[in-house]
Structure 1
Amino acid sequence: MKVLLIGSSFSAMPFLYELKRLGADVSVIGKYEADPCHSFVEHSIHEDYSDSENLLRICKEHGFDHIVPSCNDYSYVAGAAVANVLGLPGFDSPEVTEILHTKDRFRRFCREIGVPAPRIYGEVTPDSGTQEVSAQLDGPALVKPVDSFSGRGVELIHSAAELDEAIARAMDMSRGKRAVVEQFVEGALHSHTAFIADGRIIWHQFVDEFCEVYRYQVDRSQFPTRLTAEIRDAVQRAMERVVEALGLCDGLLHTQFIASEHAFWIIECMRRCPGDLYGHHFKFSFGYNYEAQYVAGFLGRKPQPPAADGPSPMRIERRVLSVADPQAFFAVYLGADGGDGGPEKIYVPLKDSGQKLEAAPFDKAGILFLRGDPETTPEQISATKAHMLFHN
């Protein structure tokens, strides 16, 4: 079984080792030669995989049986185009892929099937101008590149006078040079993550998310969720509607949404795996190999839910260590344990001491997981001290 892993960063390492565990002959594509996945395969391809025509050429030359995208939209969208030509499993049709991964089309789709989502004021291209969108504005709005991820290029505006500059910055982050302007909604950020088999959701969970350093990138998250049953049930029904309306293939459906006390708005859905070791919320909490289930769909296999008699979930907090301004990274202070030992700390380093740490959302020093027992409260785990130290 010859498999191409599309992506070579640290976030792709769990997929690489799952493929190796299955006995696959794995190649990795990614243009950065220093990325970790390149060190653990016989064959590395140091090219840009976001060009679907180039990726198709490479797949034909090497005769891969399967391709597995990693944790960014470029890997999934290019992989979907290749899979459509070569008949490879795990990807939806190009039409469905475009709906899910293009912000303006996804908003229109949600409206058509009755799923709550922020209102779209309009889309802007270099040739369209902003007058029509400006006339539609009704309160604060978010300006976003239609095709970016990790919050890059997103900006909140409060009046039409701010629109032109925000559009220009969004287009700088858009490969297609297109931006969308949408309603700003108030509430707390959460994610719903689910595996699909035979057209239905077979397993799902919720995670509470926080953006504390950079306003539009998650840098802290907690599992299990504190969402009410009312909101959880409503979001679950909405996701089932999305699965049915699009006829989604087996695999992952990951969603971010904003919720208030009695309402919610879907922000985005994706079929690729979220980054920053998101799946380890569940691996460290109750032993569920989320990444293995993600890989399964691209190998033509069905994802499986965790065992019904598995362990009780332990409370997990994930912290992505980043900064608002560039710094010379030195070390991470993990704090002293209290008399009861405090939560376990699992630190994933991504920077060496002395390296420059760029501002979020473009860089991070590492990822810290805190694990408490089932009785640990969210407040107790959040109070655990850990912070970065810098050369100065």
Structure 2
Amino acid sequence: MIAEKMIKKTIKKSVLLCDASFSAIPLLEALKEKGLRVAVCGSRDADPCHALADESYIFDYSNKSKLLKKFKENNFDYLVPGCTDISYISCAWVAKKLGLPGYDDVRAVKVINQKNEYRKLGKEKGYPIPNHETEIANFKQMKFPALLKPMASFSGRGILRFDKFVELKRFIDCGKFSALGGEFLLEEFVEGRLYSHSAFLKAGKITTDFFVNEYCTIHPYQVNSSYVSTKLSVSVKKQMRIWLEIFAKDLNLADGLLHTQFISDGKRVYLVESCRRCPGDLYSLLIQKSTGINYASLYVSAFINLSPDVETKVSHKNFSRHTLSCNSDVIFAAAEIDIKDAKVSYVPIKKVGELLRAAPMDRAGIFFIEHLARRTMETVTENLYKLSRVQTL
């Protein structure tokens, strides 16, 4: 009996991390630090977490039935989504079948992960969302400029801007709209700066949150530079926090992360989209380097039935994050950045000789820059695309 008890104590609980990409490395590390045996799954065998995990499975996790089967076959205790919407959607489906912790119900998953459902609820509840239309017949009623957004897009892919209705009509009449395939919505273009709000919830209330300035300087709808906000007004932060807790109540959200992109003109806020999976491109490391708070640890805690560690010491360091990308397809050779009076680290994604596709489809790597002064960080971050470059073959 004593021997059996000792064996049980030494057996680690296991978790399947549904993402093997470079952005999931901090999540894998956070899970290992909590004493778990970590397995990963993903369709690309070259992704780094396959080599770093205790076990790895190479398959496409968008196949929900296969993910469920793999989870049950290996008797995993927990399931953690990675840094893609598909990962979260598949994991939520499996979690519903098995009663796993950390996930929302079917309605909440649908609202958060489908653009039209998110905006439909927003319109019903009076959330601060831009005006939009999903019916072609009503497009003429919209105020222009307007953005045509694919329902199933992510990372700014497939978004088109039309400054006047006549431009959109011409696009539709010549058959280009039909050629795109899929479903779209048309949304009013609003003026302002882009931000993100990452908040961790407990019983519907915010316990910890972060605001980040975000810039799209290579592709107009994909973030490539950012830093933790220093000048965002108290009023704007208050608006986002009030909305988020209302949203959490309306959907009865589970404990854990809700990450939202929004636009603000300094007074009002306009919601762009929300997600419950970890943001990609090592967003978690930007927060950790800037504040000292282990964002990845906070994120995974909700899915492994642990209360997140309370951070008592918060630092305020001047870090920028810059995702290196190009506006045309090239063969990658090297990454460069020319910046003075700063500490620079680089996380490579592409290898020499590999194809680097034009943004928003691809990126070469990620720079983290620690500036000597806050003001330098605030002024330089938006211009990092001018200071960095890709050497090509």
Alpha carbons 2:130, 2:271 under 8 Å: kept: yes
Closer, same or farther in 2 for the Cα pair 1:282/1:336, shift >3 Å? closer
Work out the CA distance in 1 between the residues paired with 2:80 and 2:339: 41
Match for residue 127 of structure 1? none
Alpha carbons 2:147, 2:188 under 8 Å: kept: yes
Letter in 1 for 2:27: F
What is the correspondence of 1:310-389 to structure 2 with a 5 Å cutoff?
Answer: 310-335=313-338, 337=340, 342-373=341-372, 375-379=374-378, 381-382=380-381, 386-389=387-390
Matched, 1:85 2:97: yes
Work out the CA distance in 2 between the residues paired with 1:20 and 1:142: 42
- Bigger helix fraction: 2
Cα distance, 1:305 vs structure 2: 4.3
Cα distance, 1:4 vs structure 2: 0.8
Match for residue 6 of structure 2? none
Gaps of 5+ in 2: 1-12
The alignment covers a number of residue pairs equal to: 374
Matched, 1:298 2:297: no
Q: Residue 66 of structure 2 is aligned with which of 54, 61, 69?
A: 54
Closer, same or farther in 2 for the Cα pair 1:59/1:227, shift >3 Å? same
- What SS does structure 1 have at the residue aligned with 2:302? helix
Cα distance, 1:106 vs structure 2: 0.4
Alpha carbons 1:32, 1:46 under 8 Å: kept: yes
Work out the CA distance in 1 between the residues paired with 2:308 and 2:177: 40
What is the correspondence of 1:107-118 to structure 2 with a 5 Å cutoff?
Answer: 107-118=119-130
Q: Residue 223 of structure 1 is aligned with which of 218, 228, 246?
A: 228
The TM-score normalised by the length of structure 2 is: 0.90
Cα distance, 1:335 vs structure 2: 2.7
Cα distance, 1:112 vs structure 2: 2.1
Match for residue 392 of structure 2? 391
Closer, same or farther in 2 for the Cα pair 1:262/1:323, shift >3 Å? same
Q: Residue 203 of structure 1 is aligned with which of 204, 208, 221?
A: 208
The TM-score normalised by the length of structure 1 is: 0.90
Q: Deviations over 1:207-265 (max 9, x none)?
A: 00010111111001122332222212111111121112111111100000011132110
Letter in 1 for 2:391: F
Alpha carbons 1:320, 1:364 under 8 Å: kept: yes
- What SS does structure 1 have at the residue aligned with 2:283? coil
Closer, same or farther in 2 for the Cα pair 1:370/1:161, shift >3 Å? same
Calculate percent identity across the aligned residue pairs.
Answer: 37
Q: Residue 287 of structure 1 is aligned with which of 288, 292, 295?
A: 292
Match for residue 3 of structure 2? none
Q: Deviations over 1:28-50 (max 9, x none)?
A: 11111111111123432111111
Alpha carbons 1:322, 1:359 under 8 Å: kept: yes
Match for residue 76 of structure 2? 64
Matched, 1:270 2:271: no
Alpha carbons 1:208, 1:226 under 8 Å: kept: no
Q: Residue 194 of structure 2 is aligned with which of 189, 200, 204?
A: 189
Cα distance, 1:317 vs structure 2: 1.0
Match for residue 86 of structure 2? 74
Closer, same or farther in 2 for the Cα pair 1:372/1:112, shift >3 Å? same
Work out the CA distance in 2 between the residues paired with 1:135 and 1:389: 42
Letter in 1 for 2:236: I
Q: Deviations over 1:249-300 (max 9, x none)?
A: 1110000001113211001111001100111122111211000110000001
Cα distance, 1:116 vs structure 2: 0.5
Q: Residue 237 of structure 2 is aligned with which of 222, 232, 238?
A: 232
Closer, same or farther in 2 for the Cα pair 1:334/1:162, shift >3 Å? same
Cα distance, 1:162 vs structure 2: 4.7
Superposed CA RMSD:
2.0
Work out the CA distance in 2 between the residues paired with 1:60 and 1:201: 33
Letter in 2 for 1:378: M
Work out the CA distance in 2 between the residues paired with 1:240 and 1:38: 37
Match for residue 14 of structure 1? 26
Match for residue 174 of structure 1? none
Match for residue 32 of structure 1? 44
Letter in 1 for 2:368: F
Q: Deviations over 1:275-334 (max 9, x none)?
A: 001111221112110001100000012234421xx2431122111000000122222223
Gaps of 5+ in 1: 124-129, 172-176
- What SS does structure 2 have at the residue aligned with 1:35? coil
Work out the CA distance in 2 between the residues paired with 1:17 and 1:226: 32
- What SS does structure 2 have at the residue aligned with 1:279? helix
Alpha carbons 2:346, 2:367 under 8 Å: kept: yes
Closer, same or farther in 2 for the Cα pair 1:162/1:71, shift >3 Å? farther
Closer, same or farther in 2 for the Cα pair 1:317/1:168, shift >3 Å? farther
- What SS does structure 1 have at the residue aligned with 2:286? helix
Alpha carbons 1:6, 1:49 under 8 Å: kept: yes
Task: Please say which of residues 138-147 and 1-10 is displaced more in the overlay.
Answer: 138-147
